Copies of this chain bind each other. A is one copy, B any other.
Amino acid sequence: SASQDLDLEILETVMGQLDASRIRENLRELSREPHLSSTPRDEALVQLLLQRWQDEESGLDLAKTFKYEVLLSLPSEEQPNSVTVVGPTGDILFSCRQSEENLTGEQAGPDVVPPYAAYAPPGTPQGLLVYANQGSEDDFEELQTQGISLEGTIALTRYGGVGRGDKAVNAAKHGVAGVLVYTDPGDINDGQSLPNQTFPYSWGLPPSGVERGSYFQYFGDPLTPYLPANPSSFRLDPANATGFPPIPTQPIGFEDAKVLLCNLQGNSAPATWQGALGCEYRLGPGFRSDGDFPADSQVNVSVYNRLELRNASNVVGIIRGAVEPDRYVFYGNHRDSWVHGAVDPSSGTAVLLEVTRALGTLLKKGTWRPRRSVIFGSWGAEEFGLIGSTEFTEELFSKLQERTVAYINVDISVFANVSFRGQGTPPVQSVIFTAAKQISAPGHSNLSIYDNWIRYYNRSSPVYGVIPRMGTLAAGSDYAPFIHFLGISSMDLAYTYDRSKTSARIYPTYHTAFDTFGYVENFVDPGFSSHQAVARMVGNVLLRLSDSLFLPLNITDYSETLHSFLQAAQEDFGDLLQQNGISLEPLVTAVDKFQGAAADLDEQISELQKGTPDPLQVRMINDQLMLLERSFLNPQAFPEERYYSHVLWAPLTSSITTFPGLAIAYSTAMNTDPGSAAWAEVQRQLSIVVAAVEAAAATLRPVADL
Q: How far is the CB of A2 from chain B (nearest CB, A)?
A: 6
Cα–Cα, bound, A583→B234 (Å): 11
Query: Does the CB pair A62–B705 fall under 8 Å?
Result: yes
Report chain B residues within 8 Å CB of A636.
225-226
Query: Does the CB pair A396–B232 fall under 8 Å?
Result: no
How does the 8 Å CB contact mask read for A369-400 relative to B, with 1 for contact and 0 for none?
00001010000000000000000001111110
Pick from B325, B396, B684: contact of A704, CB under 8 Å: B325
Q: How far is the CB of A520 from chain B (nearest CB, A)?
A: 31
Query: Does the CB pair A683–B234 fall under 8 Å?
Result: yes
Q: Does A623 contact B (CB under 8 A)?
A: yes
Among A61, A619, A627, A691: residue with most chain B CB under 10 A: A691
Report chain B residues within 8 Å CB of A259.
none
The total of chain A residues at the interface (CB under 8 A) is 67
Q: Does A616 contact B (CB under 8 A)?
A: yes
Report chain B residues within 8 Å CB of A228.
691
Report chain B residues within 8 Å CB of A323.
616
Pick from B318, B373, B398: contact of A699, CB under 8 Å: B398
* A residues 652-691 touching B (CB-CB < 8 Å): 680, 683-684, 686-688, 690-691
Decide: A704 near B616, CB < 8 A? Known: A402-B630, A586-B230: no
Q: Does A547 contact B (CB under 8 A)?
A: no
Report chain B residues within 8 Å CB of A104.
none
Report chain B residues within 8 Å CB of A633.
398
Which B residue's beta carbon lies closest to that of A321?
B704
Cα–Cα, bound, A694→B396 (Å): 9
Report chain B residues within 8 Å CB of A62.
704-706
Pick from B64, B237, B630, B683: contact of A706, CB under 8 Å: B64
Cα–Cα, bound, A188→B699 (Å): 47
Q: Does A324 contact B (CB under 8 A)?
A: yes
Q: Does A227 contact B (CB under 8 A)?
A: yes
Q: Does A233 contact B (CB under 8 A)?
A: yes
Query: Does the CB pair B615–A395 fall under 8 Å?
Result: no
Cα–Cα, bound, A107→B631 (Å): 48
Pick from B316, B615, B690, B695: contact of A398, CB under 8 Å: B695
Query: Does the CB pair A373–B704 fall under 8 Å?
Result: yes
Q: How far is the CB of A239 from chain B (nearest CB, A)?
A: 12
Q: Does A160 contact B (CB under 8 A)?
A: no
Q: Does A271 contact B (CB under 8 A)?
A: no
How does the 8 Å CB contact mask read for A106-126 relative to B, with 1 for contact and 0 for none?
000000000000000000000
Q: Does A292 contact B (CB under 8 A)?
A: no
Query: Does the CB pair A616–B320 fall under 8 Å?
Result: no
Decide: A695 near B615, CB < 8 A? Known: A318-B706, A325-B703, A704-B61: no
Report chain B residues within 8 Å CB of A230.
586, 690
Report chain B residues within 8 Å CB of A691.
227-228, 233, 394-395
Q: How far is the CB of A448 from chain B (nearest CB, A)?
A: 35
Q: Does A469 contact B (CB under 8 A)?
A: no
Pick from B585, B619, B687: contact of A227, CB under 8 Å: B687
Query: Does the CB pair A687–B627 fall under 8 Å?
Result: no
Decide: A232 near B585, CB < 8 A? Known: A62-B705, A698-B396: yes
Report chain B residues within 8 Å CB of A702.
325
Cα–Cα, bound, A329→B685 (Å): 33
* A residues 213-254 touching B (CB-CB < 8 Å): 225-228, 230, 232-234, 237
Cα–Cα, bound, A302→B109 (Å): 82
Q: Does A258 contact B (CB under 8 A)?
A: no
Q: Does A80 contact B (CB under 8 A)?
A: no
Q: Does A437 contact B (CB under 8 A)?
A: no
Report chain B residues within 8 Å CB of A394.
691
Report chain B residues within 8 Å CB of A191.
none
Q: Does A620 contact B (CB under 8 A)?
A: yes
Pick from B233, B317, B615: contact of A2, CB under 8 Å: B615
Cα–Cα, bound, A630→B400 (Å): 12
Query: Does the CB pair A583–B232 fall under 8 Å?
Result: yes
Report chain B residues within 8 Å CB of A63.
706
* A residues 319-341 touching B (CB-CB < 8 Å): 320-321, 323-326
* A residues 617-631 touching B (CB-CB < 8 Å): 619-620, 623-624, 627, 630-631
Report chain B residues within 8 Å CB of A585.
232
Q: Does A403 contact B (CB under 8 A)?
A: yes
Q: How far is the CB of A6 from chain B (nearest CB, A)?
A: 17
Which B residue's beta carbon lies closest to that of A63?
B706
Q: Does A635 contact B (CB under 8 A)?
A: yes
Pick from B317, B321, B620, B690: contact of A232, CB under 8 Å: B690
Cα–Cα, bound, A702→B403 (Å): 13
Q: Does A614 contact B (CB under 8 A)?
A: yes
Report chain B residues within 8 Å CB of A225.
636
Query: Does the CB pair A704–B234 fall under 8 Å?
Result: no
Give 16 CB contacts A-B under 8 Å.
A62-B705, A226-B634, A227-B684, A233-B687, A234-B687, A316-B706, A321-B704, A326-B624, A394-B691, A395-B695, A396-B698, A398-B633, A398-B699, A402-B699, A615-B615, A616-B616
Q: Which 8 A-B pairs have the closest CB atoms?
A: A326-B703, A320-B704, A234-B687, A232-B586, A325-B704, A234-B684, A398-B631, A234-B683
A232-B583, A317-B706 given; name 12 further pairs at CB < 8 Å.
Answer: A61-B704, A325-B703, A394-B691, A395-B694, A396-B698, A398-B631, A398-B695, A399-B695, A402-B402, A402-B627, A402-B630, A616-B619
Which A residues lie at the B interface, using CB under 8 A? 2, 61-64, 225-228, 230, 232-234, 237, 316-318, 320-321, 323-326, 373, 375, 394-399, 402-403, 583, 585-586, 614-616, 619-620, 623-624, 627, 630-631, 633-636, 680, 683-684, 686-688, 690-691, 694-695, 698-699, 702-706
